Each structure stands twice: as C-alpha cells, then as structure tokens.
Amino acid sequence: MTQDPRLAAIETMLEHRADGNYGLHAITQKQHALQAAMFAEQLGCAEPLVVAALLHDVGHLVHDLGDNPAEAGIDDRHEELGAAWLARHFGPEVAEPVRLHVAAKRFLCATESDYFSKLSPDSVLSLSLQGGPMSPAEVADFRANPQHGAAVTLRRFDEQAKVTGLETPPVAHFLPMVARQLRPAA
C-alpha cells in the first residue's frame, strides 16, 4: 500500500523542516509540536485535538520569515497560514482550533487575571503584535465559535510545550492519528 502523499509531506515537514528554534526557547519547532501532542494525548483528548496540537504551528513551517519573526516586529499570522493549509487536508475539528489558538491566547489574557503572567517572553511579544487581550465584544464573538473550547485547550498545551530536554514520542507515533484524520483523497 502506498503512503498518502499528504501524510508523507507532513512527516517530512516535521522531521526535516522543524529543526529551527521555537521562538526564544531552547527547543525546536519539532520538539514543541511533539510536546503539545503528547500533552493532548496524555490528557485523553479526542484524536482531532491531538493532531491539532501536533500541527498547531505548521504555519511557521509554510512561510519563509525565519524562526522568530515577532522579534523583528512581524506578526507572521501563522495561525491563519497553518489553518488554511490544514483545511485543505483535514476537517474543522483539526483546522479550526489551529486557526483560533492565537485568539485563544488573547481570550485567556482578557478572561483569566493570571494568564498573562504565565506567558513566556516571546508569547508576550507576539501578543502585542496580535492585538493584545480581547475586548468584551471580541470575547463574546470568540465564545460563540463552536471550536472555542478546543482552541483554549490547545492554547494551554501550546504554553506548556516549551520544556527543554523533555522526552516525547517520535513523529512516527502520531502519524497513524494524522492519517486517520486526513480527509479522503480527492
């Protein structure tokens, strides 16, 4: 049986394009993705959310703005780039939490008094480029999205997944889940 070329592309991206630094952290994009997916799996999340956690920063891998564009004052809009790329291959249960994970950071900063203090320095920097904490109207709009809960959960994994030296399963561990979540090939 031939491997789905979409799955092969995702594997190649994670194994060979995700070796750059993850922001200002002493981990790579790949380590960040694997940690987020591992946390989702350990918590018993539904498979689409585990896949979303693994691929939530794929937008950083499909542009050529470098490892940390926020440091240069650029909002790379990676959540939109990543969600658009994912929506071609996956359903909304995977793509929407990815699209909303930056909005979830803004939401949590507006609704949880201690959330901002938990952000890493590069998340604080990118927050300023992404619009800062949500206004009350933005909070209401965010809550109206059926995927907002999944996006908030994904955001928490995103913040947690920045541990230097943390052992994770390899990319290959998650590929069967990714394969099951792929839409049927056209």
pLDDT digits (tens, 9 = 90+) for 11-38: 988 998 777 665 556 788 899 999 999 9
**Domains of the chain by residue range:** 5-181
The whole-number average pLDDT for the span 145-171 is 94
pLDDT higher than threshold 90 for residue 48: yes
> Alpha-carbon dihedral of residues 158, 159, 160, 166, nearest 10 degrees?
70
Residue 90 pairs in a beta bridge with: 182
Question: For residue 105, what are its two tokens?
Answer: 């950071």
pLDDT at 2: 47
CA distance 10 to 6: 6
DSSP codes, 76-142: --HHHHHHHHHHTTB-HHHHHHHHHHHHHHHHHHHH-TTHHHHS-HHHHHHHHHTTSSPPHHHHHHH
Q: What pLDDT was estimated at residue 65?
A: 46
Q: How confident is the model at residue 1 (pLDDT cuts 50, 70, 90)?
A: very low
Mean pLDDT of 164-185: 95
- Dihedral Cα 80, 9, 149, 170, nearest 10 deg: -130
Q: What is the overall mean pLDDT for the chain?
A: 86
Q: In terms of CATH, what superfamily is 5-181?
A: Hypothetical protein af1432 (1.10.3210.10)
Least confident of 4-13, 32-41, 151-160, 170-179: 4-13
Going by pLDDT thresholds of 50, 70 and 90, the confidence category of residue 82 is confident
What local confidence, expressed as pLDDT, does residue 102 receive?
86
Query: How confident is the model over 51-79, as pLDDT tens digits?
Result: 999 998 887 665 554 555 545 554 456 66
| pLDDT per residue as tens digits for the range 124-142 | 877 877 788 999 999 999 9
Q: Is the pLDDT of residue 43 over 60?
A: yes
Q: Is the pLDDT of residue 159 over 80?
A: yes
